Amino acid sequence: MAGPTMVHFMSWISERRRLQEPLVIQENVKQFPKDLLVRLLGDIYELQVCILDPSNYGWPVVRTRQYCVLRHRVKTAAFRMPFKEFVRYFRRDSTIDYSSFFVAPLEEQMDEIAWAANRPTSLADGNNVEGKPLVFDPQSKQETAWDAALTRTESQYLQGYRKRFGTLKAFGLGQNPERHPHHSPDLQKLPCAIANAHILYSDRDHRWYTPRELSLTQMFPTYACFSDGCECTSFQRDRCRGEGPRRRVSTIAQAGKMCIHSHPRSKHLWETPA
C-alpha cells in the first residue's frame, strides 16, 4: 500500500473518522487488504466483505470486485446476516452472451468502419471495404468489412490471440497477446473494458464493438432495446443536433461524458463540441 495513492486513501480514511456516516461501502479490486480497513476504522465500524461479479447476476461481463460494507457500531443496528450470504439471493444465470451487445444500427456500423478504414495505418487504406459483408458468414468464411479495416498490428495481434487462446473468443486488440493479453474467459462472458483495450473484437462475430456498444457492455443504457424499450437517457436519441452519422454518434457520446476510454475513438467523441 506504500504507493502513490496511499495519500489519497489516508485522506479518505480521515474523512470517514471525521464524518462517521452510519454506513460506508467501499469498492475495490479483490486484492485490496481489508485488514487495513479493520486496523484503521475497526474501532468505529464493523466490517463485512464480499466478492461480487456482474457475470454472477445475469450480465455476461467479468468485473470481479471486493465490496467492504462498514456499519457504524453506535449509529446502526447489528447486521442480521452475513452480507456475502445476503447477495446469494440475487444470483441468476445469464440468458444472453457477449454477441447480444451487437445492436448498433446500420448507419452507426458504417460510420465506425469508415473511421477505422481511414486510419493512416489501416490495411484498407480508405478502400477495400466496399462490397465486403458486415455480417460474418461461417459457411463462406469471407472476410468482413470490419476485418479489412484493421491495422497491421491489430491483425497480427488477432492472429496471436487465436494461436494462443483459440478462436471464437473476444480479444482486446490494443494489448499484446504475448505480454498483456486481454480476452474473454469463455464463449459467453466479456472481459471488463480497460483503458488500453483499444478495439474489443469478437472473433465469433468478426467485428468489434462501437463506442456506444462498448458502453452498453459496461451497463450504460445506451440503447433502448436494453431498457425495456424505454428511452431513459440522452444516449438513446435517434437524432441529435447536426447532420451525418459521425455528428450524431459524437453528440450522443458527448451527452454523458462517460468514463469509458477503451475505444481509440472515444477521446475524439468526448471532445467533439455538441
Query: Per-residue b/e over 143-176, b at no fewer than 16 CB within 10 Å?
Result: ebbbbbbbbeebeebbebbeeebeeebbbbbbbe
Can you tell me which residue has the cell 452498453?
Answer: 216
Whether residue 1 lies inside any domain: the answer is no
Query: Are 118 and 154 members of one domain?
Result: yes
Residue 79 DSSP symbol: P
What is the per-residue pLDDT across 9-40, written as a single tens digit (0 to 9) for each?
A: 999 999 999 999 999 999 999 999 999 999 99
The residue among 235 and 87 whose pLDDT is bigger is 87
Query: Are 188 and 113 members of one domain?
Result: yes
- % pLDDT > 70, the chain: 81
d(CA 220, CA 132): 31
Whether residue 84 lies inside any domain: the answer is yes
Query: Are 160 and 53 members of one domain?
Result: no
Cell of 253: 457520446
Query: Are 25 and 71 members of one domain?
Result: yes
What is the per-residue pLDDT across 151-166, written as a single tens digit (0 to 9) for each?
A: 999 999 999 999 999 9
Domain count, the chain: 2
Q: Look at the pTM and tell me if it is higher than 0.95.
A: no
Query: Are 159 and 72 members of one domain?
Result: no
At 260, the pLDDT band (50, 70, 90 cuts) reads very low
By residue range, what is the domain housing residue 162?
98-271
Residue 63's CATH number: 3.40.50.150
How high is the pLDDT of residue 236?
A: 56
Query: Are 120 and 81 members of one domain?
Result: no
What is the per-residue pLDDT across 31-83, written as a single tens digit (0 to 9) for each?
A: 999 999 999 999 999 999 999 999 999 999 999 999 999 999 999 999 999 99
